[in-house]
Every structure is written in structure tokens, then in C-alpha cells.
Structure 1
Amino acid sequence: MSIRSESVKAFIENPIVLSTVTSWFLAQVVKAAIMLLKTNRKSGREILATIAWRTGGMPSSHAALVSAMTTSVGLNQGLQSNLFAVAFFISLIIMRDAMGVRRSSGLQAKSLNSLGRNMEERMGFEYHPVKEVQGHAPLEVIIGALLGIFIAAAYAYL
């Protein structure tokens, strides 16, 4: 086996990588399952789109990913490591952003689209809606973070 192949294999088998990717993927699958239960959109394309890249909703895959990464780094490298400190603060920024800036801009986009539709109906203006990026409610972030922590712990201890 070549050095390059061994490096790729080591990366893929790394517990930090495994727990991080697993947490993100599981959060997206749970999000798709919740979407299926809540809505009538049950096409395969909708489900795959949700699993692959949709943001917002329960649980937060952003929070699951970064909390799994941080927990794995802490368990593998130690809480005193520089890498843990960096991962911890990046995680805080990402989770705060998911609840704050992204949620806020999504609510603003929703209001703007409502106003635009009203103007279009009343005054005949053509309105092109803006994308409504959905952020997360605090509970969605907490559940995502707990999911990531539990998955990272499972990879470390099982």
C-alpha cells in the first residue's frame, strides 16, 4: 500500500472524522424523518435534498457536527490541548451563529417576501422572493449538540 493510500485510510478511520461525519449525517437523517412526519412532502428527491444539504430544523446538524468534533478532540487529544481550545471556540461561534445571525436573517427574509407579495398583489409590481435561510431555535441547537456529544463519546468508549 502506498504512503498516500495509507494516509487516506488513516484519515477515514480517524475517530474524530468518523464521529463528526456520523453526527452530521445522523442529524440530517433525523431532520428528514421529522420532515416526513410533519409535512406532505414525501418525494424521494425532497428526502435526499434534506439529508444532503438542507439547513435549519430539528436537530441542528451544524451543532451536531461541531460538538462531535470538539468532544472527539477533547477525548482523543485532551482538554488541555491547543486543538481542543480551537475546536471549542469555533463550535461556540458556529452554534451562536446558527441561533442568531442565520435565524435573524431568515426571519427578515420571510418578512421581506411577505411584504413583496403584498406589494405585487396591490400595486402590480413583479416581485422575486429572496431565499429564506432558516436558522435554528435554541432547542434545535441543544438537541444537535447533545447528539454530537453522545456520538463522539460512543466512538471513544465503545
Structure 2
Amino acid sequence: MFAQLKSKFLELFLNPVFLACVFSWFCAQFIKTIINLCLRRIHSVGELFECLIWKTGGFPSSHTSLVTSLCTCIGFRNGVGSDIFMLSACLMMITIRDALGVRRANGIHAVKLNEIGKELNDKQVLDYKPIKEVLGHNPMEVVFGAILGFFIGLAFSTL
């Protein structure tokens, strides 16, 4: 039983589609980290690892890169007329729409709420603790993430 479980586990982690998605996400995070290092936005080793592994927002969009890579791989493996490709294309559209719209709007709202909260704090009307401001993505960040994901998915599908 353990050998069979180990076999299935290895099958998952050696799947080219899975590897393309992980590599695409990691490449986007790596590029984002290099940009933040060059712009001197990273001040500690902890911030470096957070940016490399977990940070959202910024250039390029790792979410978009991952889902575009997934969609590209599935398109090559199963054909663009397959049901699974249609599912991945819909997932890609939802993710990109979320990155450009909902998450961006939430980030703008967080900035405004923090401004209002600071004013109320300064006037001693309210004890306000700032909320995290994650601005989502602008169109250029999403486009570059999609291009990165497409080419990584293409490479994993053809090599």
C-alpha cells in the first residue's frame, strides 16, 4: 500500500503540467523578487523569502502566469476543443479578471480606509490599526504574467 501511495505521489510531482505550473509560478515570483531587490524594497532576509515564496501583487502576476501555463499545457496535451481545456480557459479568465478587477479594487479600498483610519486616529476619535494594502495587478503586470506562463507552458509541452 505504501509503495502504491508513493508511486501516485511521484506521478503527481513528475507530471509535466504540474511542473510547468510550479515552474511558471516560481519564475514569476523570482522575477518579482529581483525587481524588488533592485528597487530596494526588500530590507531583510525575511522580506526576501516572503517575496520569493508568498508575496502577491507586483510585476509580473504569478497567478496569471500559473493559470496561463496550465491552460497552455492542457491545450497542447488534450487539444483546444477538449472539455478540460475549456475548464482551464475559464479558470484562467476568472483568475485574470480577479487580478485586474476585484483584488485591485480591494487594494484601493484598503488604501482609502487606512487614510481615513489614520485621520481618525490622529484626532483620537478611533483607535485604528491599518489593514494590509495589496493592490492586485495593473494590466501590464497581468499581460507579462500571461506571456511568461504561455512560454513556460509551451516549453514544458514541447520538450
- TM-score (normalised: structure 1): 0.94
| Identical positions, percent | 38
- Alignment partners' CA distance in 1, 2:41 and 2:142: 25
Q: Size of the alignment, in residue pairs?
A: 158
- TM-score (normalised: structure 2): 0.94
Equivalent residues in 2 for 1:22-61 (5 A)?
Answer: 22-61=23-62
Q: Unaligned 5+ residue runs, structure 2?
A: none
The residue that corresponds to 1:157 in the other structure is 158
| 2:141 aligned partner, one-letter code | E
CA shift, 1:133, in A, is 2.2
Give a deviation string over 1:7-40, Cα, whole Å, max 9, x none.
Answer: 2222111111010000001101111111111124
The residue that corresponds to 1:82 in the other structure is 83
- Alignment partners' CA distance in 1, 2:41 and 2:136: 22
Equivalent residues in 2 for 1:52-71 (5 A)?
Answer: 52-71=53-72
Which secondary structure does the structure 2 equivalent of 1:130 belong to?
coil
Equivalent residues in 2 for 1:2-151 (5 A)?
Answer: 2-151=3-152
CA shift, 1:124, in A, is 4.9
Which secondary structure does the structure 1 equivalent of 2:123 belong to?
helix
| 1:86 aligned partner, one-letter code | L
**Cα distance 1:40–1:83, how it changes in 2: closer, same or farther (>3 A)?**
closer
**Cα distance 1:79–1:139, how it changes in 2: closer, same or farther (>3 A)?**
same
**Cα distance 1:70–1:40, how it changes in 2: closer, same or farther (>3 A)?**
closer
| 2:40 aligned partner, one-letter code | T
- Alignment partners' CA distance in 1, 2:80 and 2:41: 45
| 2:82 aligned partner, one-letter code | S
Give a deviation string over 1:46-99, Cα, whole Å, max 9, x none.
Answer: 110011111000000000000000001101111111100000011100111011
- Alignment partners' CA distance in 1, 2:125 and 2:138: 36
